[in-house]
Amino acid sequence: MHYDAVVIGAGTAGLVAGARLAEGGARVCVLAKGVGSTHLAPATIDVLGYTPARVSSPAAVFDEFAASRPDHPYALLGVDAVGEAVRWFLGSVAAGPLPEYRYVGDLERNILLPTAVGALRPSALVPSTMAAGDAATGERVCVVGTRSLRDFHASLCAANLRRAGIDARSVDVEIELDRADANTLGLARRFDDPAWRAGFAARLALKLRAHESVGLPAMLGLRDPHGAWSDVQRRLGRPVFEIPTLPPSVPGMRLFEILRATLRRAGGRLVVGAEVVSADRSGSRIVSVATAAAGHDARYGAPWFVLASGGFGSGAIELDSHWDTRDRVLGLPLRGLPEPGEPRFVGDYLAEQPMARVGVAVDSSLVAEGADNVVVAGAALPGAVPWREGSGEGIALASGSYAARLVLARSGAPAGAAA
Amino acid sequence: MSEVGGVLEELMRGSLDHCVKCTICETQCPVSNVTPLFPGPKYAGPQAERYRVLGEPSVDSSVDYCSGCGICSMSCPQGVKIAEINSQARNRLKQQKGIPLRDRIITRPTWLGRAGTPVAPVANFTLGFRPLRVLGEKTLGVHRDGAAPKFAGRRFSRWARGRTSPPTGRRVVYFHGCGTEYYEPWEGEKVVQILEHNGFEVVVPKQDCCGLPLQSSGLFDDARKVVTALARALVPYVRNEPDTIIVGNATSCTLMLKREAREILSLEDDPDLKLVSERTYDICELLLELHDRGELKTDFKPVDEHIAYHAPCQQQGHWIGKPALELFALIPGLEVSEMNARCCGIAGTYGLKAEKYDIAMAVGADLFAQVRESGANEVACDSETCRWQITHATGVGSVHPIDYLHRAYGL
């Protein structure tokens, strides 16, 4: 099959690149080995959280941060690219398939939201269903748990919030479930049912005190999260917010659905189950890639490819037992590897690990070294440590958007198509 | 044969070590999302597999509630062969607990078809006659409301034998499957006409069932016999003909030939099946590839209709996306609503079984609601059992996607 552009990877970066290419008039196909990172992450848009000091305004420190790290994706992209991508994202959510579901926030101020264990995490944009959790509100908080959900401990979350100076307590609400292995997804489906959530809200209301907001694990509906959240909030008569959970991430599933629908609405294809197993080259260009379909490989040719396959986390970049590191998707050269003799890892697990900055080597236009028609986006890029910097979604949005713009500009698609 | 091991089965089983317990398969599983009877692909697959010791009885029977749709394997970002592991576990469980008579009957479309076709009016009346269906549920365990097809009363192969495809030098082998043979021969007639319109000489070999119903009910030995017999029937047409391919419209049966028989039934080493597997195409896959090469005729007349399209799990299992949607886009006037639900619930024969009918209907509830809300006049879907289920549940008629190409060509 032939396309104007083929995107490899259906995480945030790949879906954004695919959607924006399609919106720009390109015939685009997004290939994914499986369903990816969206379903595992909190679905907040973290642009810059730590430098390593906690960042209160990403916009204020961005240039200084980028200048000190010339190999960082942000140094190559610039703050305007991030701002443009954020504006596109907010618009796409608003035009998306989930009625009235929105993201709020901007690059001027980070919102501090509690994690499942009650740590405070800085994000630039958050779903409106989470916004009332912002520590800056100074509200008293009641964290609500249910014993059925074994991976969410309300008392632990509240205790850690107290350590951070927030007046927090916890309550447990019994939820009758007919299964031992409940997760947030099963509960989210229940919250989509107005009668069920009315009953839940009534039971919870009995346990609440005056003047406290309510934090619930992120499970307030999958189909109509805005409807479920606003209904529960109205019934309880106080601010209610979702707290991101361990996987499966319900807000992450919503985010995937929004980006998938944006891609499809613009006419882009999505093929899940399509692991890239080989690539055909002509000189310094990739001509086509083959995926392992049933029976025989399927081949996808294009003048441009966007490599958004992720890093070590997705398995796209691999470190084997011989200490060899490679890009498993296209076999492109890597950058950021520790020099021979230098440590690859350091003793403190949570310290900045030298291997963490490894990515597919790119030039200043994010074009891969050794493949002139491959643009790299997201966690496959070298130079960043997203989990320490709190920068993963910002990089994914901005580089995915940038890759689409670059491809549209260089392939002469309709002018002005890329915003 | 029951404990056929082999390199591939070891690879399937070995893939469970790639499971990082991320739960993505659980977000996708149509069954575990609607019933606690199936605890989900991660639990029944990579987790429980560690406790399944060869030669010892299985400790957990919940894997029987897996419908075998394969969505978990497709969604797994780590490449764990979850559905395949579960299918093999289900087979071992069936051997341990014994195979119900029902499963021996409803997994034999050829027997049913041969018995029902000559007496179609009587057979159709019987299948639609409630007291007998109630009796069938009580004695056999086939649900009284399970979506049963109607015998066409004629066989596709008779039609095919009565005519000759004009020789054009471009041959294609047509694998029609049992659904086309006994229940919907008109779908096969349309496939042949579309292929001939595009310059192919269509060969229809004598053929039989692919064994998928047997396999999905855990009758692996019987399934192996049936699918290798089919491979023997098809392979002479492609063995010395490097440019000849096999095409089918029954998407679950073409998937069985392409991959499932080899991976789930451990027939990786069968050379005939291997060649057949590599050469088999789904009809929409083939037509879209022809279009990509500029070889598909596009003399389409407008078809002013609004339809819903559901890509069934087994079509998704080809791992080629949704080629039907790309073909629909070539037809002027055709308005298509893409359904965004995972599964209709039937999973071949799963939804016919008395103890699973309600689960199957709950699985399909999302899809049925979307079909109704779409306002579409008709549903296009690549799998016959899914079509029967959708029509059974919604009352909206359903056809194979190629029906619209056939109409647009004016054939």
pLDDT tens track for A32-71:
999 988 999 999 999 999 999 999 999 999 999 999 999 9
Say which amino acid occupies A86.
V
Q: Given B24, B26, B258, which is nearest A294 (Cβ)?
A: B258
* Alpha helix ranges (H) inside B166-312: 177-178, 185-197, 212-216, 220-234, 251-255, 261-264, 271-279, 283-292
Q: Which phi and psi angles does B326 have, rounded to 5°?
A: -70, -35
CA quadruple A246, A251, A252, A257: dihedral sign? positive
Domain assignment of residue B79, given as a range = 6-97
Report CA dihedral (B75, B76, B81, B85) to the nearest 10 degrees: -80
pTM over 0.90? The answer is yes
Structure confidence at residue A418 (pLDDT)? 43
Q: Is A88 helix (H, G, I), strand (E, B) or coil?
A: helix
Give the C-alpha separation, B374 to B382, whole Å.
Answer: 19
User: How long, in residues, is chain A?
Assistant: 419
Q: Report in angstroms the alpha-carbon separations of A337 from A317, A325, A332, A382.
A: 12, 8, 14, 9
Give the C-alpha separation, B24 to B35, whole Å.
Answer: 18
Q: Which residues of A touch B320 (CB under 8 A)?
A: 271, 274, 293-294, 298
Q: Which two tokens stand for residue A151?
A: 């991976």
Structure confidence at residue B8 (pLDDT)? 63
Q: Which residues of B touch A152 (CB under 8 A)?
A: none
Report whether A174 contacts A146 (CB < 8 A): yes
Residue B93 lies in a domain: yes
Q: What is the DSSP string of B149-188?
A: ----SS-HHHHHHTS-PPP-S-EEEEE-HHIIIII-HHHH
What is the enclosing helix (H) or strand (E) of A392?
Answer: helix A392-410
Q: Which residues of B touch A298 (CB under 8 A)?
A: 319-320
Residue B278 lies in a domain: no
Mean pLDDT taken over chain A = 94
Structure confidence at residue B172 (pLDDT)? 98
| Probe site for chain A from B17, B18, B24 (most A CB atoms < 10 A) | B24
Q: Is A210 helix (H, G, I), strand (E, B) or coil?
A: coil
Give the C-alpha separation, A23 to A11, whole Å.
Answer: 18
Last residue of a domain, one of B43, B73, B97: B97
Report CA dihedral (B238, B240, B243, B249) to the nearest 10 degrees: 0
Q: Which residues of B touch A247 (CB under 8 A)?
A: 22-24
Q: Which residues of A touch B24 (CB under 8 A)?
A: 34-36, 39-40, 247-248
- Assign residue B341 the CATH number of its domain: 3.40.50
Residue pointed to by tokens 């690149």: A17
- Among A25, A34, A35, residue whose Cα is nearest residue A3: A25
Residue B345 lies in a domain: yes
Bond from prior residue into A248 cis (ω within 30 degrees of 0):
yes
Minimum CA–CA partner of A248 in chain B: B23
Q: Which two tokens stand for residue A23?
A: 């919106």
Other beta carbons within 10 angstroms of residue B307's beta carbon come to 23
Stretch(es) of chain A classified as CATH 3.50.50.60: 5-95+254-410
Stretch(es) of chain A classified as CATH 3.40.50: 131-243
- Among B235, B156, B249, residue whose Cα is nearest residue B195: B249
Mean pLDDT confidence for A228-249: 97
Please answer yes or no on whether A273 and B255 come within 8 Å at the CB atom: no
Q: Is B288 on the interface with A (CB under 8 A)?
A: yes
Percent of chain A at pLDDT above 90? 87
Q: Which residues of A touch B36 (CB under 8 A)?
A: 178-179
Q: Burial code of A40-54, b = ≥16 C-beta within 10 A, e = fewer?
A: bbbbbbbbbbbbeee
Please answer yes or no on whether A274 and B22 come within 8 Å at the CB atom: no
Report CA dihedral (B208, B211, B213, B218) to the nearest 10 degrees: 160
Say which amino acid occupies A304.
W
Minimum CA–CA partner of A261 in chain B: B340
Structure confidence at residue B5 (pLDDT)? 53
Is A272's pLDDT higher than 60? yes
Residue pointed to by tokens 């003799």: A341
Q: Which residues contact A221 (CB under 8 A, 6 or more apart)?
A: A188, A191, A192, A197, A227, A228, A229
* Alpha helix ranges (H) inside A104-249: 154-163, 184-191, 194-205, 225-236
Give the C-alpha separation, B136 to B123, whole Å.
Answer: 14
What is the domain class of A131-243 according to CATH? alpha beta
Among the ranges given (A201-205, A381-385, B4-8, B34-38), the one the predictor scored with the smallest mean pLDDT: B4-8
β-sheet bridge partners, residue B348: none
- DSSP classification of residue A50: B
Report CA dihedral (A237, A238, A243, A247) to the nearest 10 degrees: 0
Q: Is B370 on the interface with A (CB under 8 A)?
A: no
Confidence of residue A417 (pLDDT cuts 50, 70, 90): very low
Mean pLDDT taken over chain B = 92
Please answer yes or no on whether B316 and A39 come within 8 Å at the CB atom: no
Report whether B171 contacts B241 (CB < 8 A): yes
Mean pLDDT confidence for A390-418: 86
Q: Which two tokens stand for residue A15?
A: 């879906």
Residue B385 lies in a domain: yes
Confidence of residue A419 (pLDDT cuts 50, 70, 90): very low
Is A76's pLDDT higher than 60? yes
Q: Which positions of chain B have pLDDT values less than 70? A: 1-9
Q: Which two tokens stand for residue A166?
A: 């927030």
Confidence of residue A169 (pLDDT cuts 50, 70, 90): very high
Is A415's pLDDT higher than 80? no
Give the C-alpha separation, A20 to A2, whole Å.
Answer: 18
Q: Is B39 on the interface with A (CB under 8 A)?
A: yes
Q: Is A313 on the interface with B (CB under 8 A)?
A: no
What is the domain class of A5-95+254-410 according to CATH? alpha beta
Minimum CA–CA partner of A187 in chain B: B33
Give the C-alpha separation, A391 to A50, whole Å.
Answer: 8
Q: Given B27, B33, B319, which is nearest A293 (Cβ)?
A: B319
| Angstroms from A5 CA to nearest CA on chain B | 15
Report CA dihedral (B304, B310, B312, B317) to the nearest 10 degrees: 90
Q: Strands A359-360, A334-335: parallel, antiparallel or unpaired by DSSP?
A: antiparallel
Last residue of a domain, one of B69, B97, B125: B97
β-sheet bridge partners, residue A213: A141
Please give the order of strands across the beta sheet that includes B306-310. B335-338, B306-310, B378-381, B397-399
Q: Strands A168-172, A141-145: parallel, antiparallel or unpaired by DSSP?
A: parallel
Minimum CA–CA partner of A271 in chain B: B321
- Among A120, A138, A123, residue whose Cα is nearest residue A49: A123
Last residue of a domain, one of B46, B77, B97: B97
Report whether A259 contacts A15 (CB < 8 A): yes
Please give the order of strands across the beta sheet that includes A285-291. A276-282, A285-291, A298-301
| Total structural domains within chain B | 2
| Probe site for chain B from A2, A6, A98, A272 (most B CB atoms < 10 A) | A272
Residue B56 lies in a domain: yes
- Among A13, A35, A120, residue whose Cα is nearest residue A394: A13
Structure confidence at residue B3 (pLDDT)? 45
- Assign residue B29 the CATH number of its domain: 1.10.1060.10
CA quadruple B102, B107, B111, B113: dihedral sign? positive
